[in-house]
């Protein structure tokens, strides 16, 4: 059994310095191999490090040693010459005496830094993926609008804000007329493009803070606040006019709209009321909008 041990065999740079002058009193061969420098008759600890690390030693590490007597896990960089920089981790302890001395343990941290950077990159990648998944979970894949679940969450929030502000809000339900015939005559790929173009028309003719969503096959929903009855009617007619004025995929497309306006009614009631108005609009011949003021207070 081996009983002879040497500190020179430890894979860590061991250094002893004067606390006040930082003169190197003793250093292990490993430290000199790590720093790729030769032992000098007189040297100070700072000369082994880059200018930035030397500043850190003088302005932070040494004052901490003077006040606390120890310093743990300080990241420094050794200047090994020829533009070689070696990241290291330093731990230091003060031993009182005359003169007071500091025991340093300095170990390379290149592998740790690489692993840390990999972990940072992985975390960033996971955060990006999580953000994308969050967007996907809230977005209708075909049109890029909010899906039904996200629409309900956003609309409920907007309605609560409007109620606190004391302003009216409107809930629109829009359905493309005779959409089944479009699919049957032109194919589902054509129908999908019609849905995309309809989504574009709706977003281009509403405000950025309005909430627009695709909530069913050919059914869209819109919630907007600060809407008096006349302005809700105006918006509904504006949307219908925009749809009528431009052929979608080369064919004329129309839509029907049901719109419920309120200042106190809850989301669920508005949804039900707008849907009923939409049904009436379609029953009365389609290509029209029906709006009604509803107060559920």
Confidence (pLDDT) at 213: 95
Q: How far apart are CA 69 and CA 63, in angstroms?
A: 9
Confidence (pLDDT) at 191: 94
- In order, the DSSP letters of 7-23 are GGGSSSEEEEEETTT-B
> Which letter does DSSP use for residue 44 in this model?
B
Taken in order of first residue, the domains within the chain and their CATH numbers are: 7-110 (3.30.450.20), 139-293 (3.30.70.270)
pLDDT, one tens digit per residue, over 132-179 is: 777 777 899 999 999 999 999 998 988 888 888 888 889 999 999 999
* Residue percentage of the chain with pLDDT more than 70: 94
Size of the chain, expressed as the number of residues it contains: 297
If pLDDT is split at 50, 70 and 90, which confidence band does 208 have? confident
Which stretches does DSSP call E strand in 100-168? 101-108
pLDDT, one tens digit per residue, over 40-58 is: 777 899 999 999 999 999 9
Confidence (pLDDT) at 279: 95
Which carries the bigger pLDDT value, residue 113 or residue 122?
122
> Which letter does DSSP use for residue 50 in this model?
-
Which stretches does DSSP call E strand in the chain? 13-18, 24-27, 70-79, 85-95, 101-108, 169-176, 211-214, 219-225, 255-262, 289-293
Given a cut of 60, is residue 83 above it in pLDDT?
yes
If pLDDT is split at 50, 70 and 90, which confidence band does 242 have? very high
pLDDT, one tens digit per residue, over 213-224 is: 999 999 999 999
Beta bridge partners of 17: 24, 102
Confidence (pLDDT) at 265: 85
pLDDT, one tens digit per residue, over 281-295 is: 999 999 999 999 876
Lowest pLDDT segment from 51-60, 73-82, 129-138, 190-199: 129-138
Confidence (pLDDT) at 247: 83
* Residue percentage of the chain with pLDDT more than 90: 55
Which carries the bigger pLDDT value, residue 39 or residue 158?
158
The CB density around residue 93, as the number of other CB atoms within 10 Å, is 14
Name the 3-class secondary structure at 205: coil
Q: How far apart are CA 247 and CA 257, in angstroms?
A: 19
Could you tell me how far CA 251 lies from the centroid of its own chain?
41
Catalytic center residues = 218
If pLDDT is split at 50, 70 and 90, which confidence band does 112 have? low
Q: What is the mean pLDDT of the chain?
A: 88
CB 200 within 8 A of CB 253: no
Average pLDDT estimate for 106-116: 75
Average pLDDT estimate for 190-204: 94
Tokens representing 58? 């003088």
């Amino acid at each position: 059994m081996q009983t002879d041990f040497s500190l020179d065999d430890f894979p860590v740079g061991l250094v002893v310095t004067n606390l006040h002058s930082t003169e190197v009193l003793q250093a292990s061969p490993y430290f000199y191999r790590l720093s790729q420098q030769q032992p000098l008759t007189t040297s100070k600890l700072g000369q082994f490090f880059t200018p930035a690390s030397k500043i850190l030693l003088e302005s932070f590490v040494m004052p901490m040693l003077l006040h606390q007597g120890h310093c743990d896990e300080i990241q420094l960089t050794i200047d090994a010459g020829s533009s070689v920089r070696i990241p290291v981790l330093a731990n230091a302890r003060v031993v009182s005496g005359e003169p007071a001395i500091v025991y340093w343990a300095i170990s390379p941290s290149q592998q740790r830094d690489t692993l840390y950077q990999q972990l940072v990159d992985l975390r960033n990648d996971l955060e990006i993926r999580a953000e994308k998944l969050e967007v996907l979970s809230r977005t209708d894949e075909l049109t890029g609008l909010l899906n039904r679940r996200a629409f309900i969450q956003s609309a409920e929030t907007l309605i609560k804000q409007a109620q606190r502000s004391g302003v009216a809000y409107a809930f629109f339900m829009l359905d493309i007329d005779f959409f089944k015939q479009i699919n049957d005559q032109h194919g589902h790929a054509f129908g999908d493009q019609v849905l995309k173009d309809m989504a574009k028309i709706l977003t281009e003719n509403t405000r950025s803070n309005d909430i627009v969503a695709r909530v069913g096959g050919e059914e869209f929903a819109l919630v907007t606040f600060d809407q008096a009855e006349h302005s809700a009617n105006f918006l509904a007619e504006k949307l219908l006019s925009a749809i009528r004025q431009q052929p979608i995929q080369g064919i004329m497309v129309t839509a029907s709209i049901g719109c419920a306006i309120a200042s106190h009614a809850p989301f669920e009631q508005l949804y039900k009321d707008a849907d009923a108005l939409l049904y009436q609009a379609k029953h009365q011949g389609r290509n029209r909008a029906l709006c009604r003021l509803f107060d559920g207070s």
